Amino acid sequence: MAAATSFAGELTRADLERRFAPPLRVGDKAGDVPVWPIGSELAPDDGPVGWAFESIDLAPIPGFEGTPINLLIALDARGNFMSVEVLRQHEPVFLGGLGESPLHEFVRQYAGRNLSQSITVSTIYGASSAAEGAGNRVVLDGITKATASVRIVNQTVLTAAVAVARARLGFAAPSIAGPPARAREDRYEQRSFGDLLDTGAIATLRLANRDAEALFADSDAAGLDPAALAAPGETFVELYVAWLNPPGIGRTILGDAGFAELQRALEPGQQAWWVATAGRTSFLDEHFVRGTAPARLTLRQGGVPFELRDADLDPRTPPGAPPLNAALVLKAAPLAGVDPGSVQDFELTFARARGAILPEITHRGVHVNYRAPESYFERPPAPPPDWLIAWQDRRTDLTVIGAALALLAAVLARPRWISLSPRRLKLFRFGFLAFTLGYLGWHAQGQLSIVQLTGAVKMLYAGQSLASYLYDPVSLLLIAFTLASSLAWGRGAFCGWLCPFGALQEFAAHLGRLCRLPQRRLPRRLAQWLDRGRYALLLALVGAAAFAPRVAGKLVEVEPFKTAITVGFDRTWPFVAYAGVLLALGAVYYKFFCRYLCPLGAAMVLGGKLRLLRWLPRRRECGKPCQRCRHRCAYDAIDRNGAIRYDDCFQCLDCVGIYHDPERCAPVMLLRRKARHIC
Task: In whole angstroms, give the CA distance from residue 36 to residue 301.
Answer: 28
pLDDT for the residue 360: 84
Q: What is the CA 88 to chain-centroid distance, rounded?
A: 19
Give me the residues of the chain with pLDDT under 70, please: 1-8, 96, 124-137, 170-178, 675-679
Q: Is the pTM of this model over 0.85?
A: no
Q: Is 5 helix (H, G, I), strand (E, B) or coil?
A: helix
Q: DSSP letters along 593-623, please? A: HHHHT-HHHHHHHHHHTT-----S---TTBT
Cα four-point dihedral sign 599, 602, 607, 612: positive
pLDDT for the residue 133: 41
Q: Where are the alpha helices (DSSP H) in 515-627?
A: 524-547, 549-555, 561, 573-588, 592-596, 599-608
pLDDT tens-digit profile of 342-398? 999 999 998 888 877 777 888 899 999 999 999 999 988 777 777 888 898 889 999
pLDDT for the residue 1: 30
pLDDT for the residue 28: 87
Pairing label, strands 360-370, 344-354: antiparallel
644: exposed, middle or buried (C-beta count within 10 Å: 0-12, 13-18, 19+)? Answer: buried
311-329 per-residue burial string, b: 16 or more CB within 10 A, e: under 16: bebebeebeebeebeebbb
Task: In whole angstroms, give the CA distance from residue 210 to residue 207.
Answer: 8
pLDDT for the residue 172: 59
- 8 Å CB contact between 92 and 68: no
Does residue 107 come out as left (phi exceeding 0), alpha (psi in the -120 to 50 range) or beta? Answer: alpha
pLDDT for the residue 136: 60
Cis peptide before 385 (omega within 30 of 0): no
pLDDT for the residue 194: 93
pLDDT for the residue 609: 84
pLDDT for the residue 150: 87
- 8 Å CB contact between 412 and 489: yes
C-alpha dist (Å) from residue 5 to 2, 57, 81, 248, 467: 5, 11, 28, 56, 21
Task: In whole angstroms, give the CA distance from residue 506 to residue 500.
Answer: 10
515-552 per-residue burial string, b: 16 or more CB within 10 A, e: under 16: eeeeeeebeeeebeeebeebeebbebbbebbbeebeeb
- 8 Å CB contact between 662 and 669: yes
pLDDT for the residue 430: 96
- 8 Å CB contact between 647 and 608: yes
Q: Between 599-608 and 450-461, two packed helices, what is the crossing angle to 10 degrees? A: 80
Task: In whole angstroms, give the CA distance from residue 217 to residue 220.
Answer: 8
Cis peptide before 415 (omega within 30 of 0): no
